Amino acid sequence: GRIMPSESQGASNVDIAIHGEGATRRGQRLTISNREVSKLSFFIARLGSVDPGGVRFRIRKVSDDSILASKALTAGLTTSFAWVEVTFDTPVTINEEVRILVEKTTGNSSNCVRIRFQDSDVKAGEVWTAYSEPPYSDNAYRDMAYIYTYEIVPPPVTAPTITAQPATSIEVTTARSNGEVTDNGGENPTVHIYWGTSDGQTTPGNWDHDENLGVKAFVTYQGYCPCTSFSDRSIYLIQGLITGAEIATKLS
């Protein structure tokens, strides 16, 4: 099968408990940008008796602590530390700061989950985090050991933005259209200038002529429109985007 990319912090030199009489959540606070997370792993073991169904791997928003993804363990833990992985039932798309956590609300110091971390700052921009009661306790000088597997989610393509300027160099048989692509919407658009003896509004097929200026990025463009002689020396010029198949802005 296809190998998925992963993000990790693998260093660890200390372990600490998670149980109902102390910190019930421990993990890492970090920012995940435009990624669809499908799997989460921590370097953990059990001490005493631990029901795996009572241990959950979760991803929570930092902004309001709501749960983005959650999965209970299905296999028992061993007393030796090992990477334990869950696969979320539905991959979750994340583009914000979150906490990735191991959570256990039962047990005590003799019957608990032990989780490994590095007692020094080894992952820039991320911090160790724990919760027993509000608020969370974050420690920038520690980093939890973790791995998450993801796919990159491309940003959505939106309608481009074009700033139009008035037509210039209007002569009996020619006119020049001017404008600038100020926001490509995530994908460089193809710019067309539609022109003719009557106003075709926003329907490309209603125009007599279509001047394809090609793909344009964040640049100023000019379009040159040859035309037949008009007695009133007027010409309708309109600017459109092929990506949406609609005309965006009418030029004067």
Q: What is the tens place of the pLDDT at every residue in 13-55?
A: 999 999 999 999 999 999 999 999 999 999 999 999 999 999 9
Cα separation of 61 and 31, whole Å? 10
CB neighbourhood size of 150 (10 A): 21
pLDDT value, residue 4: 83
One domain, residues 228 and 105 = no
**What are the beta bridge partners of residue 8?**
147
Give the model confidence (pLDDT) of 102-141 as tens digits.
999 999 999 999 999 999 999 999 999 999 989 999 999 9
Q: Tell me: do 10 and 129 sit in the same domain.
A: yes
Is there a single domain that holds both residue 133 and residue 189? no
Asked whether residue 44 is domain-assigned, the answer is yes
Domain that holds residue 87: 6-152
Helix intervals (H) in 3-44:
none
Determine which of 47-61, 107-121, 145-159, 219-233 has the lowest per-residue pLDDT on average.
219-233
Query: Same domain, yes or no, for 44 and 128?
Result: yes
Angle (nearest 5°) at CA 165 between 160 and 170: 130
CATH number of the domain to which 82 belongs: 2.60.120
Distance (Å, whole) CA 23 – CA 170: 75
Q: How many domains does the chain have?
A: 2
Q: How many angstroms separate the Cα of 127 from the Cα of each of 29, 41, 120, 232?
A: 5, 17, 10, 70
